[in-house]
A = this chain, B = another copy of it.
Amino acid sequence: MKALVYLGPNKNALEDRPKPVITAATDAIVRMTRTTICGTDLHILKGDVPTCVPGRILGHEGVGVIDAVGAGVSSFKPGDAVLISCISSCGTCVYCRKLMYSHCTTGGWILGNKIDGTQAQFVRIPHADTSLYPIPSGADEDALVMLSDILPTGFECGVLNGKVSPGSSVAIVGAGPIGLAALLTAQFFAPSEIIAIDLDDNRLDVAKRFGATSTINSTDGRAHEKVMELTGNRGVDTAIEAVGIPATFELCEQIVAPGGVIANIGVHGTQVALHLERLWDRNITITTRLVDTASTPVLLNIVRSHKIDPTLLITHRFKLDKILEAYETFGHAADTRALKVIIEVA
């Protein structure tokens, strides 16, 4: 089969690889129909993810059709249409029993990282019963690809952790795909104010269209003051960090109101300065989270009821045999204005 293979820093290729086979009773083999590329795939390509070794098929998102199941799989049979969660979960370990699937002792984020992933014609999914979701008939597959990772990440790590609530104020620092996913899902809780902050006016325009009530271009280093002006000098109830660098996290520290929450989504490569000398008495909360995809059933319900349109996030489409071109487009988002790209496998 065709598969996008990581070959080491800055090298990947579309190769021919053997079709995967069932190796445990709880495995399923899925024939992919749609997949996509994640910012994390770009991190891997830079060589920043040591758990992902050369030779690995990349990708942890997508939808497809069950091709085969192991003896221990009870919820799925060949021919069933399924959504693949980016997080594999056994449903049994101490973490899964707390719905913290991200830390499953035999799962977590392994697809396209520690085991072969979804940017291929077929993929083996471990713990299939608890790592796949049946797709409603007639569903929009493009929309559902957004439910593998980006929407639950924005929703769980940003919106739920950030305790967005009716009438509250929210700032989203970073209006890339993940910040925009937080922006879309924050609106499930009717905040009064959503301020999007970014360096790129194009992304801020998109944020405005997606429901931001104000936008701030932070190029001039005055984002802090502008947020204070917009909030009567109080700061925001929820500050969502969707970039992953010290400057943006520290901006969140500056703009969070007493009693508020900083919900980190960003993947950080270095420590940040936590100004406890200012924050120790401010009654704030800081959260971190690798997405658990515990909210997938809820998100499936919401997409089915048309409360949001996840396809808003999709800017480009490619066939699997053009996936290298898709990586180029996605990897130069500032120029191409790419948000999410759909890879059609079949």
Q: Which residues of A contact B (CB under 8 A)?
A: 25-26, 70-72, 74-75, 90-92, 94-100, 102-103, 106, 129-130, 165-168, 187-190, 192-193, 213, 244, 249, 258-259, 264, 266-277, 279-290, 292, 294, 297-302, 304-305, 307
Given contacts A91-B91, A276-B288, contact A192 B72 (CB under 8 A): no
Given contacts A92-B75, A287-B284, A288-B282, contact A192 B102 (CB under 8 A): no
**Would you mind naming 12 contact pairs between A and B with Cβ atoms under 8 Å apart?**
A25-B71, A91-B92, A91-B96, A97-B99, A97-B297, A102-B283, A166-B189, A166-B298, A167-B299, A270-B277, A281-B289, A286-B287
Report the minimal beta-carbon distance from A176 to chain B, rounded to whole angstroms: 16
B268 touches A277 (CB 8 A): yes
Report the copy number of this chain in the oligomer: 4
Q: Which residues of B contact A286 (CB under 8 A)?
A: 274, 285-287
**Contact residue among B25, B97, B287 (Cβ-Cβ distance under 8 Å from A285):** B287
Report the minimal beta-carbon distance from A229 to chain B, rounded to whole angstroms: 17
Q: Which residues of B contact A168 (CB under 8 A)?
A: 301
Given contacts A25-B71, A74-B90, A297-B94, contact A192 B305 (CB under 8 A): yes
Given contacts A72-B26, A274-B274, A276-B272, contact A302 B98 (CB under 8 A): no
**Contact residue among B275, B280, B302 (Cβ-Cβ distance under 8 Å from A244):** B280
Given contacts A91-B130, A273-B274, contact A259 B72 (CB under 8 A): no
Report the minimal beta-carbon distance from A173 to chain B, rounded to whole angstroms: 14
B276 touches A249 (CB 8 A): yes
Give the CA-CA distance A190 to B129 in the complex, in Å.
Answer: 28
Give the CA-CA distance A91 to B75 in the complex, in Å.
Answer: 11
Q: Which residues of B contact A300 (CB under 8 A)?
A: 167
Nearest B residue to A75 via CB reads B92
Give the CA-CA distance A192 to B275 in the complex, in Å.
Answer: 33
Given contacts A91-B130, A297-B167, A301-B167, contact A100 B290 (CB under 8 A): no
Report the minimal beta-carbon distance from A8 to chain B, rounded to whole angstroms: 22
Nearest B residue to A108 via CB reads B281
B276 touches A271 (CB 8 A): yes
Report the minimal beta-carbon distance from A276 to chain B, rounded to whole angstroms: 4
B290 touches A267 (CB 8 A): no
Give the CA-CA distance A284 to B284 in the complex, in Å.
Answer: 14
Q: Which residues of B contact A289 (CB under 8 A)?
A: 281, 283
Nearest B residue to A94 via CB reads B297
Q: Which residues of B contact A193 (CB under 8 A)?
A: 305
Given A271-B277, A284-B288; 17 other pairs, CB 8 A cutoff: A25-B25, A25-B71, A26-B74, A71-B71, A71-B72, A91-B129, A100-B283, A166-B298, A189-B190, A192-B305, A272-B273, A274-B286, A279-B288, A281-B288, A281-B289, A283-B290, A285-B285
Nearest B residue to A98 via CB reads B259
Give the CA-CA distance A51 to B94 in the complex, in Å.
Answer: 33
A288 touches B277 (CB 8 A): no
B259 touches A100 (CB 8 A): yes
